Every structure is written in C-alpha cells, then in structure tokens.
C-alpha cells in the first residue's frame, strides 16, 4: 500500500505539533481520548490537560492555513521582527491595519503603483523596523513582496533578516552584480530582500542614476509590493532621490521624539518633487 504525503492544509493539528516537536505521540493519544470523552476540540483538550498552550494551537492553525511565522527563540531572523515571531500581538495588528490602508491608497494592482519608499526625518524613529515588519505582513497575505535596503550608508536589513551583505543594491547600481543579488528569506516563501551591499564611496550618485529607476521597473513584473528602506532625510538627500524613483512615500515618525516642523518640511519637499505622500506612520514603540 502506498500512502500519499499530505499537504500541510490536510494535516491535523496533532500531526503538525508532533512533527514540530511540540507534542509527543503518547501525549497526543491522551488528548484524543479526552477529546472523544468530553466532545472537545483537539486544542481545547490539549490545553485542558496542560499539554498544549494557546501559542501551540496558534502555531498549528497558522501552518494549516499557510500563514508563515516563526516560533519564539528560532533565531532565524532578529527578535526585532515581531511580525515573524509574534504575529497575533497588538503591535502586529497595528501593522496589519497599516497594510490595509496601503492596499487602498497605493498597492492597487496597477504596474505603476508597486513601489513605496519608507522615509523619516531623522534617525532613531523606527524606519527600518517598520519597513522590515511591514514587508513580513505583506508576505503573510500572500503578496509577492520585495524589501530593498536603499540606506547605502547605515544599512540594517541584512542584519535583521540574517542575510549576507557581500552584494546588494550598491553592487547592482554599480554594474558589478545583477538582480540575482535579491535573496529569498527562508520560511517566508513570498518575501525577498535586496540588501544594501557594501558601503560605496558615492551613495547619493548611485541612487541618482537612471539605473535605480530602471531596476524598479524591471522588478515590477516579479513583485506585487516593493518596499524601500531609506536613510533619514535630515542627514542626506538620498531618501528624496529614492522617493522620486518610487513615486510615493510613507513617513515614519516616533511619538514624543519627532519634531512636527521636520515632518512638515519633509513632506513639502517631497510634494514639490512630485512624490505622493500616502500617509504618516506614528511609531509608538
């Protein structure tokens, strides 16, 4: 007799948790006995016996419904990527609300509406944090998502996603590598990252070249969502160049930290450059 392998969606919660090492076969049998005796769901019976936690059940359901996330302590990516480790938290729910707004305001399916620069007036306002976690929640929706690190001076995305940074945007724009520098993020099938690459001597000149806009156009057909992390606008003009190529930007500000006049000045400059500011993100964390 030949047994056809099950897809994840076909497998029971018990089978998923056993394969993940979160439940032994013996304990699964105990749960099944109580499940039948008291007419409970498998998860309810497991929690009642103290053999499973609510987090275990959420993990198994996420696997069944093809909703990728990582178990706490996995270490595959940085702990700052809360959408990867704790997707059911209040903080990540805020990111999903932001995702919904962006689907209405920017990512409408049109070819010219696929790229969005994530900008902020200064450092320490959470721009890279928002860009990285937002990229994860878009990929969890099944959107083919690319995160580009265009901060060629103080890049962070390769560190957050535990990716090698020997090649990236700087080498692509300098003609030393091609789009093969894009790296798929393990465990998140719909998420890819183009890291910044080595720090170049001329970041502003590289980002100002027509090659950057051409790269975005080439990537349009491969991705549904392209998010671009940028340097702070108070330090360099790089973010304005990136935003102009993307055509739109979202401004990240931090509660009790960002000065309102800096935000006003930044949005005025972008509006004069023809960049659509789709909204402002208030980072409370």
Which pLDDT value is given to residue 259?
Answer: 85
> Domain coordinates of the chain in residue numbers?
8-64, 82-283
Separation between Cα atoms, residue 178 and residue 211, nearest integer Å = 11
- Tell whether the model's pLDDT for residue 177 goes beyond 90: no
Which pLDDT value is given to residue 128?
Answer: 95
Position of tokens 């659509």? 276
pLDDT in tens, 85-131: 998 899 999 999 999 999 999 998 887 899 999 999 888 889 999 99
Which pLDDT value is given to residue 10?
Answer: 55
Separation between Cα atoms, residue 199 and residue 177, nearest integer Å = 15
Separation between Cα atoms, residue 105 and residue 126, nearest integer Å = 22
pLDDT in tens, 9-54: 557 889 989 988 889 999 999 999 999 999 999 999 999 999 998 8
So what CATH class is 82-283?
Answer: alpha beta
- Tell whether the model's pLDDT for residue 135 goes beyond 90: yes
Quick one: average pLDDT of 174-198?
Answer: 91
Which pLDDT value is given to residue 58?
Answer: 77
What is the chain's mean pLDDT, rounded?
A: 89
- Burial of 113 per CB tally in 10 Å (0-12, 13-18, 19+): middle
Quick one: average pLDDT of 255-267?
Answer: 86
- Tell whether the model's pLDDT for residue 234 goes beyond 80: no
Separation between Cα atoms, residue 115 and residue 148, nearest integer Å = 10
- Tell whether the model's pLDDT for residue 213 goes beyond 70: yes
Q: pTM value?
A: 0.82
pLDDT in tens, 215-231: 999 999 899 999 999 99
């Amino acid at each position: 007799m030949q047994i056809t392998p099950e897809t994840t969606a076909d497998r029971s919660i018990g089978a998923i948790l056993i394969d993940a090492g979160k439940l032994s076969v013996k304990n699964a049998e105990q749960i099944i006995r109580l499940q039948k005796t008291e007419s409970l769901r498998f998860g309810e019976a497991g929690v009642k016996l103290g053999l499973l936690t609510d987090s275990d059940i959420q993990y198994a359901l996420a696997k069944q419904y093809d909703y990728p996330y990582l178990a706490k302590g996995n270490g595959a990516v940085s702990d700052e990527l809360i959408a990867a480790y704790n997707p059911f938290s209040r903080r990540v729910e805020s990111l999903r609300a932001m995702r919904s707004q962006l689907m209405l305001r920017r990512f409408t399916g049109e070819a010219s509406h696929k790229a969005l620069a994530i900008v902020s007036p200064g450092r320490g306002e959470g721009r890279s944090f928002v860009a990285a976690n937002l990229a994860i929640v878009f990929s969890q929706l099944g959107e083919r998502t690319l995160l580009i690190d265009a901060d060629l001076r103080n890049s962070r995305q390769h560190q957050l996603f535990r990716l090698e940074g020997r090649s990236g945007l700087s080498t692509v724009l300098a003609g030393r590598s091609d789009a093969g520098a894009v790296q798929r993020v393990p465990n998140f099938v719909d998420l890819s990252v183009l890291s910044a690459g080595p720090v170049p001597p001329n970041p502003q000149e590289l980002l100002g070249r027509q090659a950057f806009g051409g790269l975005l156009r080439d990537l349009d057909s491969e991705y549904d969502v392209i998010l671009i992390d940028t340097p702070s606008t108070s330090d360099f003009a790089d973010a304005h160049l990136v935003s102009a190529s993307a055509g739109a930007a979202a401004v990240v500000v931090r509660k009790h930290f960002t000065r309102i006049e800096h935000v006003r000045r930044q949005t005025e400059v972008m509006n004069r450059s023809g960049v659509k500011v789709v909204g402002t993100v208030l980072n409370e964390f």
